């Protein structure tokens, strides 16, 4: 490989540029809420901030029920158990590992499914092929905020009597054919981790239009308590705390501005990336009201002249902390390898995309000039 420039323009970014640096939309409003929590002495156990956050999230999504949790992983575990998943569940490998860990923790066998290389979402044709008498459900992931093939997955689930759960960690505020994500399948699960554009420091939620399922979830996240000292269902401590709800409420009040800012980052990247051979931007259908939370590119090594990993090394050397999402695919991670040490599934599209995809820095700490400099650095790597 020919020598590549170590820095752009004779210098480097003095501060790291991150993927998903935390946002505080209105610090003063948040601190007002914190003072209210301190004055009340009600810090956890389904307090007024959590209840208000649930109500406002449900209203924003147009869904009947929102059950807030301490994080997205616990939300997944509760959702999987509440809908009755067991045996084998079909799930994409190209996702954050928590999607699959939550199955494993429930004693459920993940059956890894390949993705559509165009959408990066689970491939319904492959889902159908993987169904056996042990299959109890399908987990779809709305990757990058682009909705799964909802019609096909729902038809498959209904035909085979399977539960359909969606990991919607990337898709808060997005929609599908006019319906907000959060209303689909048996239930949908969100993450409000600090790296998300709508965050609550740490947190998650399950949304559903099934009132009985929501009631079960509320029992399960609070040790199964129904009343002061009556336990009627097995449960865990999965509650969101008040200060997290305060941050979630504060950011939710500014969500349109946050999405608008995300869109500006995306458009700035799109403008410059279009000029770089071998780099293809993952685009969005704006009819689905994307949240533009992630700016993701695919690297064509032959045309660009560097592999994705070579480019990552160059960017990191310049304080541009781009991420290899979701490398190498969960099916290639140690906990899920076969006893032979080999992946349990042959997933050619997943392997290809996992070797090509790169997530670029976004967030409220980035300026348009930073984006242009990042793109110029990438271009210089191609031209060098």
pLDDT of residue 17 exceeding 80, the answer is no
pLDDT of residue 138 exceeding 60, the answer is yes
* CB atoms near residue 27 (< 10 Å): 9
pLDDT of residue 1 exceeding 50, the answer is no
DSSP label at 231? Answer: B
Residue 369 or 161, more confident? 161
Percent of the chain at pLDDT > 70 equals 96
Residue 12: per-residue pLDDT:
58
> Model-level pTM?
0.94
pLDDT of residue 64 exceeding 60, the answer is yes
Q: Which of 193, 150, 136, 149 is nearest to 169 (CA)?
A: 193
pLDDT of residue 204 exceeding 50, the answer is yes
pLDDT of residue 228 exceeding 90, the answer is no
Tokens for 79, please give them. 């959702």
Residue 31: per-residue pLDDT:
97
Residue 118: burial class (beta carbons within 10 Å; 0-12, 13-18, 19+)? exposed
**Strand ranges inside the chain, DSSP E:** 19-21, 65-69, 88-92, 109-113, 135-141, 163-167, 175-176, 179-180, 187-191, 204-208, 279-281, 295-299, 357-360, 362-363
Percent of the chain at pLDDT > 90 equals 86
Helix axes 368-383, 308-317, angle to 10 degrees: 130
Residue 14: per-residue pLDDT:
67
Residue 210: burial class (beta carbons within 10 Å; 0-12, 13-18, 19+)? middle
DSSP label at 240? Answer: P
Residues 332-366 pLDDT 10s: 999 999 887 788 889 999 999 999 999 999 887 78
pLDDT of residue 118 exceeding 80, the answer is yes
Domains in the chain and their CATH numbers? Answer: 27-253 (3.40.640.10), 255-322+361-383 (3.90.1150.10)
Residue 188: per-residue pLDDT:
98
Residues 65-83 pLDDT 10s: 999 999 999 999 999 999 9
Backbone φ, ψ for residue 218 (5° rounding): -65, -35
Least confident of 122-136, 240-254, 354-368: 354-368
Question: Taking a C-beta distance cutoff of 8 angstroms, is the pair 252, 50 a contact?
Answer: no
* CA 370/CA 16 separation, integer angstroms: 11
Residue 365: per-residue pLDDT:
75
pLDDT of residue 114 exceeding 90, the answer is yes
Residues 249-306 pLDDT 10s: 999 999 999 999 999 999 999 999 999 999 999 999 999 999 999 999 999 999 999 9
């Amino acid at each position: 490989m020919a020598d590549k420039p170590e820095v752009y323009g004779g210098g480097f970014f003095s501060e790291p540029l991150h993927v998903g640096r935390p946002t505080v939309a209105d610090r003063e409003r948040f601190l007002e809420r914190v003072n209210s929590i301190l004055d009340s002495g009600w810090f956890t156990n389904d307090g007024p901030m959590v209840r208000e956050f649930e109500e406002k999230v449900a209203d924003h999504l147009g869904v009947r029920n929102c059950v807030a949790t301490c994080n997205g992983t616990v939300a997944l575990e509760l959702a999987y158990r509440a809908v009755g998943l067991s045996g084998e569940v079909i799930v994409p490998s190209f996702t954050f590992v928590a999607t699959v860990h939550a199955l494993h923790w429930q004693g459920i066998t993940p059956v890894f499914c390949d993705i559509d290389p165009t959408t990066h979402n689970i491939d319904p044709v492959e889902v159908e092929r993987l169904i056996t008498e042990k299959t109890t459900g399908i987990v779809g992931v709305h990757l990058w905020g682009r909705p799964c093939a909802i019609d096909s997955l729902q038809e498959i689930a209904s035909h085979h009597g399977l539960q359909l759960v969606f990991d919607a960690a990337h898709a808060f505020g997005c929609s599908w054919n006019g319906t907000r994500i959060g209303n689909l399948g048996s239930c949908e699960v969100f993450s409000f981790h600090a790296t998300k554009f709508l965050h609550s420091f740490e947190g998650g939620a399950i949304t559903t239009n099934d009132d009985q399922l929501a009631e079960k979830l509320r029992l399960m996240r609070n040790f199964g308590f129904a009343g002061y000292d009556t336990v009627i269902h097995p449960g865990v401590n999965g509650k969101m705390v008040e200060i997290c709800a305060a941050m979630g409420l504060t950011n939710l009040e500014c969500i349109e501005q946050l999405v608008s800012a995300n869109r500006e980052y995306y458009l700035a990247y799109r403008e410059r990336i279009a000029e770089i051979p071998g780099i293809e931007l993952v685009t969005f259908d704006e009819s689905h009201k994307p949240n533009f939370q992630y700016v993701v590119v695919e690297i064509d090594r032959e045309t660009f002249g560097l592999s994705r990993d070579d480019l990552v090394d160059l960017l990191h050397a310049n304080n541009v902390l781009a991420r290899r999402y979701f490398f190498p695919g969960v099916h290639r991670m140690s906990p899920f390898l076969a006893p032979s040490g080999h992946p349990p599934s042959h997933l050619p599209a997943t392997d290809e995309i996992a070797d090509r995809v790169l997530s670029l820095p976004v967030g409220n700490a980035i300026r348009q000039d930073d984006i242009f400099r990042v793109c110029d650095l990438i271009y210089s790597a191609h031209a060098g």
